[in-house]
Copies of this chain bind each other. A is one copy, B any other.
């Protein structure tokens, strides 16, 4: 019992510390022209799942629609994402990737410009990447719902 609690609280502290450092490093390497973590996440989600409304994106990322708006608006201004009114529901605007963005992502230019991706490739072996990835599902379980 006390061993388990100790393990969990140490793990919690380590997760917090790693999360904080990650956030600061991402900011450090994110110039004015780079996309924020939330924006990258949205592009990936739109690529994987197709068009979605701002509100549904907000639900998926665990944030408020107003917050997601301020994530998506710059993507529209950059011409990476485009909105079209939903013909069957006049309240909704369906957001999707522009052809330019799809091409950009498929060509891997996004990856090459991304500090974290480069960092992963340089620092971890493929085996380690897979290990980290499978452990990430555990972390996702913690933070979801």
Contacts and interface: CB of A to CB of B under 8 A. Distances in A.
A66 interface: no
A121 B24 contact: no
A77 to B, nearest CB: 21
* Number of copies of this protein chain within its complex: 2
A22 B139 contact: yes
A37 B144 CA distance: 18
How many chain A residues sit at the interface, stated as a range, is 35 or more
Interface string A15-52: 11111111111100000000001101100100000000
Contacts of A6: 108, 111
B139 A131 contact: no
Nearest to A119: B142
Interface of A: 2, 4-26, 37-38, 40-41, 44, 61-63, 108, 110-112, 114, 116-121, 123-124, 126, 128-136, 138-144
